[in-house]
Structure formats: C-alpha cells, structure tokens
Amino acid sequence: MNTALITGCSSGYGLETARRFLREGWNVVATMRAPRADLLTPSGRLRILALDVTDAASIAVAIDAAGPIDVLVNNAGIGVVGAFEATPMAHIRQVFETNTFGVMAMTQAVIPQMRARRSGTIVNVTSSVTLAPMPLAAAYTASKQAIEGFTGSLAHELAHFGVRAKLVEPGYAPTTRFTQNTSVKVEDLIPPAYADFAAPIFKAFAQPSLTTSEADVAEAVWAAANDAAGTLRFPAGADAVALFKTA
C-alpha cells in the first residue's frame, strides 16, 4: 500500500489533502508543528507526526518515523501580504525558511530512499502568484517562484532515477488561513502612503469572481501524485486554471 507524507496538515490544503489520500485507501503520514489527533478521523492507515520543516532535527526524526515514503507533499507554508517596503527583512527570511528552504530540506531528506527504490513522487505546492504578477505579494511570490524553478530543474535531475517532481499551483482561497500563521499583521504592512493603492486590491480580494477551495487543491495534488504523463504543473482552482491558460 502506498504512503504519502504531507506537511502542513493542521488546516486548509494539507488537511483536505490528507483526507483525500485516506479516502483513496493510502497510508497517510500527516505532519504539523503541533500534532492534533482530533483533526482527522482515526484510521489504521493514518499517523500524525510532529514536524517543523525549518528544523533539521525535526525533519530527521519525522522521516525516520515515517518509514518508506512513496509521495512527499510539500504543502506547509506561510503567507505575507503587504507593501514590500514595509515588510521587515526578518519576516521575509521567515517566509523563505518555510516556503523555500523548508521545501528544499524535506525534498533532500526523501530523495535518497526514492532514488534507491527508483520510484517516488515529490509534489511541491506553490501558488497562482507564480502564474501572473500580483501586487502586495512581492516577498511571498519570490519564495514560491524559487520553488517553481527548483522543481522544474529537479524533475529533470530525478527522472534519471525514476523519481518524479511536480508542482501544484493553488489560486486564491478566502477560507484558508493564508496570513494567520504569521506574527505580522496585514494592516502593519500597509503604510499610509500605500492606502489608496491597496484599498481597491483588498476590495477585489473580498469579492473575488473566481476562487479556489481546499478540495480543488487536494484534487490537484492527487492528480500530480498519480501522473505518469510527465506533466509538471497542475493549477488548482478556477482562478488558477484561468491564469494558467493565459500565462
């Protein structure tokens, strides 16, 4: 039976993706910084492990406890919305530690076992901000664009060993905790000089014409994990699909 290790399962995309793989009969290793057994229906195919993707020791312990991994879903991430000018460099580094270096560290940790078996799939969840320039998201976009380039190159590198690398690009999901898992508030990153510029953007966010659901992302991750056609990018959600078609 196949096993998927999914990061960032405490809410949103990760939690719904874990549920999707469980429904498909897979073994699931659901990871999160502070494990909560109440989030997922107990199952003999489910394990919930503590994992901080920014901590090398935590990664090593989780990978060892997980055992053989057929699919790694790098979903854990933090968001940042605001004027780049007002975003503290310390926070930008925090965003990169999770969204970029955390993905790379997890990937590096599972490659040896996948390479040895000559099978496995790594699915990296980025964002539709990589499909078109979006305002007030410069730092976040940079952290996700790095993973886009990383994954594209990695796909070529690992294909030699029968290992696949994929991208899932979610659109805007109003119901997710995009910026709630960070210590910096959006309002702190909009200085008075940017107020007139930011107002219509936030209004559009409040009344989007197309959005993405957690189920959309879980479906895209499932498709990416099981793709054998060589597809690299999987946009998730109607808005992301629309952007993908024009990118």
- Residue 169 DSSP label: E
Give the active site residue among 13, 140, 172, 194. Answer: 140
Q: What is the pLDDT of residue 152?
A: 98
DSSP 173-238: -TTS-TTTTSSS-GGGG--GGGHHHHHHHHHHHHS-SS---HHHHHHHHHHHHT--S---EEEESH
What pTM was computed for the model?
0.94
User: So what CATH class is 3-246?
Assistant: alpha beta
Q: What is the pLDDT of residue 186?
A: 85
Helix (H, G, I), strand (E, B) or coil at 5: strand
* Alpha helix (H) residue ranges in 85-179: 89-96, 103-117, 138-159
Pick from 11-20, 101-110, 152-161, 172-181: least confident: 172-181
pLDDT digits (tens, 9 = 90+) for 209-230: 888 999 999 999 999 999 999 9
Q: Residue 209, CB half-sphere, CA atoms under 13 Å: how many?
A: 3
172 noted as active-site residue? no
Pick from 43-52, 161-170, 224-233, 238-247: least confident: 238-247
Q: For the residues 161-165, what does the mean pLDDT come to?
A: 98
Please report, for the chain, the start and end positions of each structural domain, with discontinuous segments joined by +: 3-246
Q: What is the pLDDT of residue 105?
A: 98
Q: What is the pLDDT of residue 182?
A: 61
Backbone angle region of 230, left / alpha / beta, with phi > 0 → left and psi within -120 to 50 → alpha: left
